[in-house]
Structure formats: structure tokens, C-alpha cells
Structure 1
């Protein structure tokens, strides 16, 4: 079980971390904006975490002889998710502390510019500027930043794990090859 969890967790982590490293320079160069980056980011998370399905199915077919309980499937999926989530958060920390040191300034500027273009009042813009300054200060703390990064990906993996565990406990779903 541990071998399957490790292999599929590392595959999922490599995919999501690779997409992070590819998309962030595109963001800072203006190829994509922060709204598009969110779509790209969550799409890459779903794609990467689809590996959970294959990890659970591999265990079911190889070690469970075509059968798996919801609990065992959930355990495998959540551990794959945990490995991928940790790799994603570590990748962000490395990126943030090397090439993305101006991330919060760019993020704040983007939101302020969007408000201005939408015709927001001066009061609304100043309130947002103050909120973003408070958020930027909190984001400087690596423990808070790491936790926030984990909270981006882990719920996605939890949902995928629940769906996959529910589906694959039924041996009729993609039955084991004879």
C-alpha cells in the first residue's frame, strides 16, 4: 500500500508543482491574469489529483483482488492527496522566496486596477488597499502562507478522494482485468 501511495502521490505532486512553476512566470509576464491563473491553477489541481483514482484502482486490482472498502480507498486517496498537497506548498514556498518575492505587490496592484476600471469609489479603493496591506503583512509569515497554500489544494483532493472511494468500492466500476 505504501509503495502505491508514494508513487501516485509523487506523480500528482510533480504534475501540480510543475504547473505551478510553469504558470507563475506567465502570470508575472502578463500572459495570463490573476483571474485566469485561478482557473489554470484549479484545473491543474483536478488533473493532477485525478491520479488518486488510479492509485486507488491499482491497489484494488493488485492487492485487493478486485475489492476495496470505502475506508481503505479513502485512506489511500487522502494520503496521495497529502503528498501532492505538501509538494505543492513546498513548491510555492521555493518559488515565492526565489522568483516570486513581489507576488503580493503584483496581486494588490491587479485588484486595485480592477476596482478602478470598474469605477469603484475612492473609499472602496482605499478600504481594499488597507485590507490588502493587512493581508500582505500576514502573508509574510511562512507558517500562515504554507497553511493557506495547503488550503488551496487539499479540499480539492478531499473531494476527489471521496468521489473515487465511493465509486471504486463498487467492483462493477472498471472491474479488474482477468
Structure 2
């Protein structure tokens, strides 16, 4: 009950924020690009039997994409607050942008996964097992992927895992943006 009242309080307060337009605009832009990238990558995995993802390139792309948070916070600071913003307010705006983008990513993944690629875990498992180089590693990864497949049957787990892919990066960029953009009012 406390969670619901906190949620409704958040929604009611969000309606009154002058930053709503910036949060939604930047959050939806980032979310749209995140979702398009996710769909392209999943389709590449399905279309290429020897698909090799690159985590470094993937996370670098996420950091570059989430860097739009910086511009959203800066835009709000310069246009709404006459060039001055506290660390807390800057972080809150950045975190809200990251949350909007991440939520869009999670919702689209849920629809895409359950409606279009319900065998995704099997395809992903095959790609993970292809990277194993020793029989011992293959046995360990096979057990891990079987456990992951079992946990992925729970929609709450799917939601948490999907948020964990993108939200921490968005929050880290929001934190850095707040550190760089905080600026006291001129007396």
C-alpha cells in the first residue's frame, strides 16, 4: 500500500514539474533509439548463426546514447533556471530521463519477447555456448544458461534483468552530468 501511495504521489508531483517536457522529450528520444537498437541486434542474432556480439561496443554505444541526458539537463538549466542548478535537481532530471528511456526499453522488450521471439533464450544460449573453448567451460555455461532459462520464465525476473541492462548506465551518466552541470546562482 505504501508503494502504491508513493507511486501516485510521484506521478502527481511529476505532472507539476516544469521539467516534464524535457524529461519526456529526452527520455523518449533515448528510449526510441535504445529500442530500435535492441530490435536490430536481436534480429541479427536470429539471422546469423555465428553472430558474435561485442560487449565493449554495445556498452560504449549505450554511454554515448545516454550522454543525451547531459544535454537534457543542460537545456533545462539554461532555459528554465537561468543557468543555475543544484547537484540534486540536476541528478533528479537526469535520473528521470534515464528512467523514462529504460522503462520504454523494458516495455518494448516484453512485447517483443513474448509476442515475436519467445524462443530468444534458446537462440541466445546457442550463441553463448558457441564461445566456449573447453569442455569444462561448456559444462559450466550449459548449467548457467539452463538456470537462466528457468528464471526467465518469471516475468518479474525478465523485467529486472532488462532494467539492469540499461538503467545503471543511465544513472551513472545522470550522476556525471549532475557533477559537471551543477552551478550556483550568481549573487
**Residue equivalent to 1:8:** 26
Deviating runs (4+, > 3 A) in structure 1? 38-41
Equivalent in 70, 73, 76 of residue 90 of structure 2: 73
**Residue equivalent to 1:147:** 160
The two structures have a TM-score, normalised by structure 2, of 0.81
Provide the rounded CA distance (Å) in 2 between the counterparts of 1:74 and 1:93: 28
**Residue equivalent to 1:86:** 103
Provide the rounded CA distance (Å) in 1 between the counterparts of 2:50 and 2:166: 20
Q: Where in structure 2 are the equivalents of 1:87-126 lying within 5 Å?
A: 87-115=104-132, 118=133, 120-121=134-135, 123-126=136-139
Output the aligned Cα RMSD.
1.9
Give unpaired runs (5+ residues) of structure 1: 172-178
Aligned length: 166
**Residue equivalent to 1:176:** none
Could you list the per-position Cα deviations for residues 4-60 of structure 1 after superposition, in whole angstroms to 9, with x for gaps in the alignment?
111111111111111112221112111873532x34542342233111111101111
Provide the rounded CA distance (Å) in 1 between the counterparts of 2:138 and 2:50: 23
Give unpaired runs (5+ residues) of structure 2: 1-18
Equivalent in 11, 15, 29 of residue 47 of structure 2: 29
CA contact (8 A) 2:91 2:174 kept: yes
The two structures have a TM-score, normalised by structure 1, of 0.85
For residues 68 and 83 of structure 1, do their structure 2 counterparts lie closer, same or farther at Cα, with a shift above 3 Å needed? same
For residues 21 and 5 of structure 1, do their structure 2 counterparts lie closer, same or farther at Cα, with a shift above 3 Å needed? same
